[in-house]
């Protein structure tokens, strides 16, 4: 019997969290076959076994944090051993395997064991990660027959589990029946996000300042430029204009483009303007960073934003593209609403919240006219930035957005 221990997986890494098991007791595995995914503070990686055989026992469950050199699995290298009755066997959870980035996981819902439903030959093309497809093959489930609950109809691990538990012919439902409750262990990226949010909220005293911006002129400019950008294969959104507006305001208020060191308390004002974009993905929230915004044109920024956010949603973003931010933009405009109170992406000292643009009546020169209005809601670290500074900075940003021709002054 060979005891496979968690190997050293990076300089300075002493422990990792089990995100998901890729094998179960009783499986016959080959040399260098991945057996689990481990999340560290730096990345999520697949851990492969140096020896083949039959898995006799797994140590730990998804969500457990284990030390380097702790036992991961017992492997019968003769291949004849049977899985013990007390071996851990947990269904894998959703996490893409392609990208070397932190990925979330959702704990499986506890339920009585059932016999997997027979595969249905639907012939439909399904959307799923390689890990989900592998798990479907192991479960003899046709992915084309599984309703996907992920973004764009993506089939998730929990969709597979629900599919095989449901009786044949019974409609699928994600609702928890009356009288029941569902316990979901918070693990993986979701736990990392929670820890970061708690640290930010209780380390930096937040305050949020809200103002409204007339986006009518900027929207007209963007619409005129969209066809020219499209000719170059670039989708022109409001984000590159917002970034260039931030550059102008950071020239006047450099302390907003900064990081903070907690011990000793030190403000690090940044010359590079590296702006993160909070991005909603099927795997959770990521913040890819556009580096050196001050050196790039609106068109260059639009192309980079399009590429970066697309690769982030596909799980192909690189680890260094998720770090080094000096300021963050978060947008909830696609979901409606008036404004939100965003949480600072620590160790940054401020974050800009962008909300939905509403057409509504306003008074201009004594006349009621229809304008495209936007609420911006920014949060600040009150230890570093006073309310008066935040108000003046927000006003400066508003002035640039309402007179967007000033965005091109640096090119004149």
Catalytic residues: 382, 386
Contacts of residue 161, defined as CB under 8 A and 6 or more positions apart, other chains included, come to 91, 108, 109, 111
CB-count burial class (<10 Å; 0-12, 13-18, 19+) for 197: middle
Place of tokens 């306003």: 362
Q: First vs last Cα of the chain: how many Å apart?
A: 73
CB-count burial class (<10 Å; 0-12, 13-18, 19+) for 381: buried
Between CA 265 and CA 49 the distance in angstroms is 44
Q: What is the dihedral of CA 176, 182, 187, 191, to 10 degrees?
A: 80
Contacts of residue 226, defined as CB under 8 A and 6 or more positions apart, other chains included, come to 236
How is 45-99 classified by DSSP, letter by letter?
EEEE-SS-EEEEEE---TT-EEETTSEEEEEETTS-----TT----------SSS
In this structure, what DSSP letter does residue 44 have? E
Contacts of residue 243, defined as CB under 8 A and 6 or more positions apart, other chains included, come to 275, 290, 293, 301, 329
| Longest CA span, the chain | 88
């Amino acid at each position: 019997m060979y005891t496979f221990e968690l190997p050293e997986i990076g300089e300075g890494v002493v422990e990792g969290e089990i995100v998901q098991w890729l094998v179960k007791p009783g499986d016959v595995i080959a040399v260098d076959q991945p057996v689990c995914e481990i999340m560290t503070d730096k990345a999520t990686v697949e851990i492969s076994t140096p020896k083949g055989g039959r898995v006799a026992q797994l140590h730990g469950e998804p969500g457990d944090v284990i030390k380097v050199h702790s036992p991961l699995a017992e492997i019968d290298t003769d291949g004849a051993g049977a899985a013990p009755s007390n071996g851990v066997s947990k269904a894998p959870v959703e996490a893409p395997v392609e990208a070397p980035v932190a990925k979330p996981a959702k704990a499986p819902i506890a339920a009585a064991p059932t016999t997997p439903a027979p595969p249905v030959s639907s012939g439909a093309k399904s959307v799923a990660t390689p890990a989900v497809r592998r798990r479907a093959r192991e479960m003899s489930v046709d992915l084309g027959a599984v309703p996907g609950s992920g973004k764009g109809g993506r089939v998730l691990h929990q969709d597979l589990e629900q599919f095989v538990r449901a009786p044949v012919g019974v409609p699928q439902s994600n609702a928890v029946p009356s009288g029941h409750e569902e316990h979901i262990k918070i693990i993986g990226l979701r736990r990392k996000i929670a820890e970061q949010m708690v640290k930010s909220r209780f380390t930096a005293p937040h305050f949020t300042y809200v103002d409204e911006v007339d986006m009518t002129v900027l929207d007209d400019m963007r619409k005129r430029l969209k066809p020219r950008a499209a000719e170059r294969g670039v989708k022109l959104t409001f984000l590159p204009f917002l970034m260039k507006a931030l550059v102008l305001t950071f020239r006047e208020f450099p302390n907003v483009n900064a990081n903070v060191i907690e011990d000793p308390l030190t403000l690090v004002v940044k010359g590079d303007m590296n702006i993160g974009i909070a991005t909603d993905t099927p795997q959770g929230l990521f913040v890819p960073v556009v580096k050196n915004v001050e050196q790039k044109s609106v068109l260059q920024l639009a192309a980079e934003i399009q590429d970066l956010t697309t690769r982030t949603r596909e799980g192909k973003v690189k680890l260094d593209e998720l770090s080094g931010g000096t300021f963050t933009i978060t947008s909830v405009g696609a979901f409606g609403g008036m404004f939100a109170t965003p949480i600072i992406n620590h160790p940054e000292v401020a974050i800009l919240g962008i909300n939905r643009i509403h057409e509504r009546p306003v008074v201009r020169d004594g006349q009621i006219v229809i304008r495209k209005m936007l609420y911006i809601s920014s949060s600040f670290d009150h230890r570093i930035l006073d309310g008066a500074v935040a108000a003046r900075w927000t006003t400066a940003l508003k002035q640039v957005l309402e007179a967007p021709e000033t965005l091109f002054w640096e090119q004149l």
